[in-house]
Amino acid sequence: MIELNCKLEHTDFTLDVGCTLPGRGVTVLFGPSGSGKTSLLRSIAGLERLVGGRVVVNGEVWQDAGFRLPVHRRSVGYVFQQAGLFPHLSVRENLLFGARHRSGTGLDVAPVVETLGLATLLSRGVRGLSGGEQQRVALGRALLSRPRLLLLDEPLAALDVGSKSMLIPFLENALHLLDIPAIYVTHSPDELVRLADHVVVMEQGRVVTGGPLVEVFSDIATPLNRLDDAFSVLPGRLLKGQLPGLSAVQTGGGNVFHVPLTNHKRHQAVRLKIQARDVSLCLEKTEKSSILNILPAIVEQVSEVSSSGGCTVKLDLNGDRLLARISAYSRQQLAIETGSCLYAQVKAVALLQGSEISPPAE
């Protein structure tokens, strides 16, 4: 368990966070730029000097009233937005820098090199490496530094789209190489959905909400879910394709979603991200429609009307929770209330690879 109580005052920004994060799995700090995610991450690592409060990581006190463990004594693996490799060292020497300074047992070099695809780079200098390669070395260096907590500050943000999509699988594998908690900062919904087990949503230096990924993104109380770009996350597994030219995913609630053909393996764990505005509601099942995914649903909750004139409807699809974003007018026309039975038409589904969501340690 990670206990955080951080207060930081800058001239134009205040961080004030009190929360408890699970002691295993990937927790994503999610929020817009300037919401204090990076400041919080730096505070945990001890890089923010002026932060006050308490930091306890799986029983180890890193900071408390009148006590501050210096950065180099905190067992973190930190990946910065810019790789920050040491230019005077080779790739191999960069990788081994941390292990040289911390005692104790850690990962062997070989599995890290293999997982991150670094074998051919080892003897090279770091100057000629591409952005993606540099970030892979930085990731390996952090993993090999015998950390007890992995902190990642938007490790993909500085990369172009191509390198990003190439790096994500490495990142996913790397995060599961060590059985230690990871805190991952991002403002990208796709990275969030792909990597998170838990999520903490931040805004203006404060925690707005937090919890398991699926719950946070199906809870109408979450501020993000009352906006027009609200979305839900459904974990599932790939089935044998049932319709020609399409793949199929079965979710936890037993619903089958047809998705564009993918080359993922059968039974592989995936996550579906569904934009609330791509879900429309109708009272009768339309038989003749180009929309493939039409599923029966019961309305569980309806939000207030937002300033944009829309409201968010939380649906129960046999245990799966799905958000739909409709206009207040439609809601009135269809007389949608808690308990209404209707059909959800899902226009678009994004399939993101993801691991099975690991339960928090008690």
Partner 1 sequence: MQQADLTALSLTLQLAGLSTVLLLLLGTPLAWWLARTRSRVRPLVEALVALPLVLPPTVLGFYLLILLSPNGPVGATLQALGLPGLAFSFSGLVTGSVIYSLPFVVQPLQNAFVSLGNRPLEVAATLGAGPLSRFLHVVLPLSRLGYLSAAVLGFAHTLGEFGVVLMIGGNIPGETQVVSIAIYEHVEALAYSQAHVLAGLLLGVSFVVLLAVNLANRRARLTGLL
Site residues (CB under 8 A) for partner 1?
Answer: 45-47, 70-73, 75-78, 80, 82, 84, 86-88, 97-98, 101-102, 125, 127, 141-142, 145-146, 151
Using CA atoms, how far apart are residues 231 and 201, in angstroms rounded to an integer?
A: 14
Cβ proximity of 41 and 183 under 8 Å: yes
Residues with Cβ < 8 Å from 288, sequence gap 6 or more? none
98: exposed, middle or buried (C-beta count within 10 Å: 0-12, 13-18, 19+)?
Answer: buried
What SS3 class is residue 326? strand
CB of 122 to partner 1, least distance (A): 18
Nearer to partner 1, 49 or 285 (CB): 49
Minimum Å gap between C-beta 149 and partner 1 is: 11
From residue 60, give the alpha-carbon distance in Å to each of 79, 350, 359.
Answer: 21, 40, 22
Q: Kindly state the tokens that stand for 66.
A: 């009148």
Please state the closest distance from residue 255 (CB atom) to partner 1, in A. Answer: 44
- Closest to partner 1 by CB, 125 or 253: 125
Indicate the DSSP class of residue 78: E
Cβ-based nearer residue to partner 1, 94 or 225? 94
Please report how close the Cβ of residue 168 comes to partner 1 at its closest, in angstroms.
23
For residues 71 and 292, which CB has a smaller minimum distance to partner 1 in the complex? 71
Q: Least distance from C-beta 133 to partner 1, angstroms? A: 16
Check residue 112 and report its DSSP letter: H
CB of 23 to partner 1, least distance (A): 20
Which stretch of DSSP H or E encloses residue 162? helix 161-175
Nearer to partner 1, 87 or 339 (CB): 87
Residue with Cβ nearer partner 1 (185 or 323): 185
Question: Nearest approach, Cβ of 258 to partner 1 (angstroms)?
Answer: 45
Residue among 102, 97, 170 at smallest CA distance from 139: 170
The single-letter code of the amino acid at 289 is S
Q: Which is nearer to partner 1, 95 or 220 (CB)?
A: 95
- Per the rule left: phi > 0, alpha: psi between -120 and 50, beta: everything else, 145 is alpha
According to DSSP, the residues that pair with 239 across neighbouring strands are 248
Taking the CB of residue 157, how many other CB atoms lie within 10 A of it? Answer: 15
Written as six digits, the tokens of 74 are: 């905190």
Based on CB atoms, which residue is closest to partner 1, 10 or 101? 101
- Cα gap 155→130, rounded to integer Å: 14
Smallest gap from Cβ 136 to partner 1, in A, equals 16
Q: Which of 46, 48, 44 is nearest to 13 (CA)?
A: 48
Neighbour-count burial of 69, counting CB atoms closer than 10 A to its CB (0-12 exposed, 13-18 middle, 19+ buried): middle
